[in-house]
A and B are shown apart, each in its own frame.
Chain A
Amino acid sequence: MSTDIRPTTTNPVIEFRDVEYVSGGREVLHHLNLAIYGGEILVLLGRSGSGKTTALKLVNRLLIGSGGEVRVEGRDARAWDVIKLRRHIGYAIQEVGLFPHYTVERNVGLLLSLERWSKEKISTRVDELLRLVGLSPEICSRYPHQLSGGQRQRVGVARALAADPPILLMDEPFGALDPLTRSDLQREFLSLQQKLGKTVLFVTHDLHEALLLGSRIALLEQGRLVSLSSPEQFLSSSDPLVKKYVEAFGSVEHM
């Protein structure tokens, strides 16, 4: 294991080094090498079962790899205190996973109250976060079941941002929304990210979403990294697997 390296802007924030993940005899990830740099949105693109969600969960140690290492800010994820690591990384998922027994305010502020923030500070921060994701602070006292799907996703993003983590992991956070709401949230998220400068690892199977959000796109296929390129390069790639993916989505030029 190498020594502790202080993160600088040129060092990757997240780095997969020769990462293997085997589950039930199946190789889910195969020698994955990938670096995510500060302030970029790296999109992990791939179909179901390509290993993209697994890769994401290795970063905040919801899973532990079978080989290689995942480095977060220069330190092996396994060397971090797991709770510290997770609180350092925002996490938003397709199911959102809002706590149904908590109001919006408590959902968004839970981590802050665990970190012993004062009530007033939490309430100010929650207000600020809700505005940031385009919600009116008036919904603070509502419960998740009283929100629309789009509102729930926004609350999920606000919750992920609560403790101002420098890194965000997002697993198809807009996947369950109708196309119009999804497109709204994608655009808002993009401008939010530009404002906040978070380092984002974003999982999706949706090429449109990848092209819209990604600084770079990493295409995974059966646990292997097939291509890593900018959105423009991705569209003009001659790689057969990339071409197949682009063709499957039809005429993306019109988006």
Chain B
Amino acid sequence: MNFWNFVVQNRLEIADLTLEHLWMVSVSTLLALAVGIPLGILISRRPALRKPVIAAANIIQTIPSLALFGFLLPAPWIGARAMRLAILALMLYALLPLIRNTYAGIIGVDRGVILAARGMGLTESQLLFKVQLPLAASVILAGVRVAIVISIGLATIAAAIGAGGLGELIFRGLAMVNNSVILAGAVPAALMALAADTMLGWLEKRFTPQHAD
């Protein structure tokens, strides 16, 4: 059975698994944004917290994904459903690029701009929302882009704990020693990563501040 035949015959299942994959990546990314960006902002204001926070995110990043799934298995509520567990793990992996880029983006805003903003009487939150975050947007988006592309790839491994997604086809294909089945999972995942990368790259460009020549 060749690749195309397999895809056509199993198009409904592939579509289902693609949606599942997309769901895992979307939810985990949203959660990671909700945690990572505030943490990045926090460490830009409290320099003492920078090292421990970045170190923690770094350590998470070094844990092999299969091991991380295993560690999280005994967690109450989370461990009860493979999908929840996968989402949590994907979120943890996405933290580092988000925290680091948010921090770098904020710290990288021109000194003179910050000085002028404070001097003219912006409150700290006005400074953050009107000046620092808009000017850091393109750097933060670059972090989001990395996080999403990594997540799409990593989410295929979630099938190992029964969380579904396109990894299901890849693992099935491996077990059957059938390249067509592997490709039926791998190709959509790769296309998804490419699409996300292109879209976010475009956004990133739009948000890149103009500079003096």
Contact = CB atoms under 8 A, between A and B. Distances in A.
A225 interface: no
Q: How large is the interface on B (under 10, 10 to 19, 20 to 34, 35 or more residues)?
A: 20 to 34
Interface string B104-130: 000000111111111111110010001
Contacts of B131: 99
B115 A93 contact: yes
Given A143-B210, A145-B213, A97 B115 contact: yes
Contact of B210 (A83, A114, A145, A169): A145
A101 B115 contact: no
Given A95-B111, A110-B130, A62 B212 contact: no
Contact of A62 (B115, B210, B211): B115
A111 interface: yes
Contact of B117 (A85, A87, A97, A144): A97
A106 B134 CA distance: 14
Interface class of chain B by DSSP: helix
A14 B213 CA distance: 39
Contacts of A83: 121-123
Contacts, number: 74
Contacts of A84: 121
Chain A CB within 10 A, most for which of B110, B210, B212: B212
Contacts of A169: 119
Given A96-B112, A100-B113, A101-B135, A60 B119 contact: yes
B134 A95 contact: no
A83 B122 CA distance: 7
A62 B211 CA distance: 26
Given A95-B110, A111-B121, A114-B121, 5 more contacts: A87-B121, A98-B116, A99-B113, A101-B134, A143-B210
Interface of A: 60, 62, 83-87, 90-91, 93-101, 110-111, 114, 143-145, 156, 159-160, 169
Interface of B: 110-123, 126, 130-131, 134-135, 209-213
20 contacts: A62-B119, A83-B121, A83-B123, A84-B121, A86-B119, A87-B120, A91-B119, A95-B110, A95-B111, A95-B113, A96-B116, A97-B115, A97-B117, A99-B131, A101-B135, A110-B130, A111-B120, A145-B210, A156-B116, A159-B116
